[in-house]
Amino acid sequence: MRYGTYLVPAAIVLTLGSLACKPPKTAEQIKAETQAAFNEGVQAFKDGKGRETNPYLNDKENPHKATGWNDGWDKAKADKDAADKAAAEKAAADARAAADAKAAADRAAAEEAARKAAESEKAAAFKKAADAALKLIHFDYDKSEIKEADRATLQGIADFMKAFPAAKLEIEGHCDERGTNEYNLALGNKRAAAALAYLKTLGVDEARFTTISYGKEKPLCAEAKEACWSQNRRGEFKLK
C-alpha cells in the first residue's frame, strides 16, 4: 500500500530551522545573565518576597538564571541574618557594658559613702576624744610650775596625743591682769613651756607642739578678785 506524503508548512520549517541554528550562549553571556538574576534575587529578598517566587524556576533553557536568583536571595538573607546577629550581639554587649558600668559606679558610690562614713566616724571620735582630753590647767600666782592637781589632766592629753599620732597642739600660756604686759607675756611663755616640758616627760614628741603666750590679753573672767584671777592663770591646749 502506498502512503501519502505530509508536507510540513514552510513557516514551521523556517521556525524549526531558526531554532536549530540558534547559537549557544557564550560564557560571558551566561555570567552576565547569572549576575543579573543574582541581583534580582537580592532585591527580591529586600522587597520581602519569598524564595519560592523565583521567576526563573520554569525556564529550562536558562537554569543558570534560576540558580543565580536563588543564590542572590540566599546571600541577601545570609547577610541580613549576620547583620541581625551582629546587632543582637552588640546590643547584648552594650547592655552588659552598661550593667557593668552601673555596677562599677554603684560600687564606687558605696565605697565612697563608706569612706565618708568612716571619715565622719573617725572625725567624730577624734573630736570626742579631744573634747574629753584637752582641758585647762591652772597655775598659782606668779608661778609656772605644774600643779599636782593638773598632772592627771596632762596625762590625759599625752594619752590623747599617743592615740592620735597626727594630732598637733598649740599650748597657750595665760596670766591674770596683775603686772605689766611685758611681765605677763614672759610669764605666759614660761607656763606654756612648763606644760610642754611635762608632756615630753610623758613620752610625747615636742615637735607636735607649739607654744604661745597671751599674757593677760585673753582673760576668761574680768572681775578683780582672786576667784576670777585664778581662772585666768591657765594653760590651754588648742588643736592645730
Local confidence pLDDT in tens for the 240 residues of the chain: 333 333 333 443 343 444 456 789 999 999 999 999 999 999 999 999 999 999 999 999 999 999 999 999 999 999 999 999 999 999 999 999 999 999 999 999 999 999 999 999 999 999 999 999 999 999 999 999 999 999 999 999 999 999 999 999 999 999 999 999 999 999 999 999 999 999 999 999 999 999 999 999 999 999 999 999 999 999 999 999
Q: Whole-angstrom Cα distance, residue 119 to residue 159?
A: 21
Considering the four listed CATH numbers 3.30.1330.60, 3.40.640.10, 3.40.50.2300, 3.60.21.10, the one that applies to the domain covering 134-239 is: 3.30.1330.60
pLDDT at position 15 = 38
pLDDT at position 21 = 60
Going from N- to C-terminal start, the domains of the chain cover 29-125, 134-239
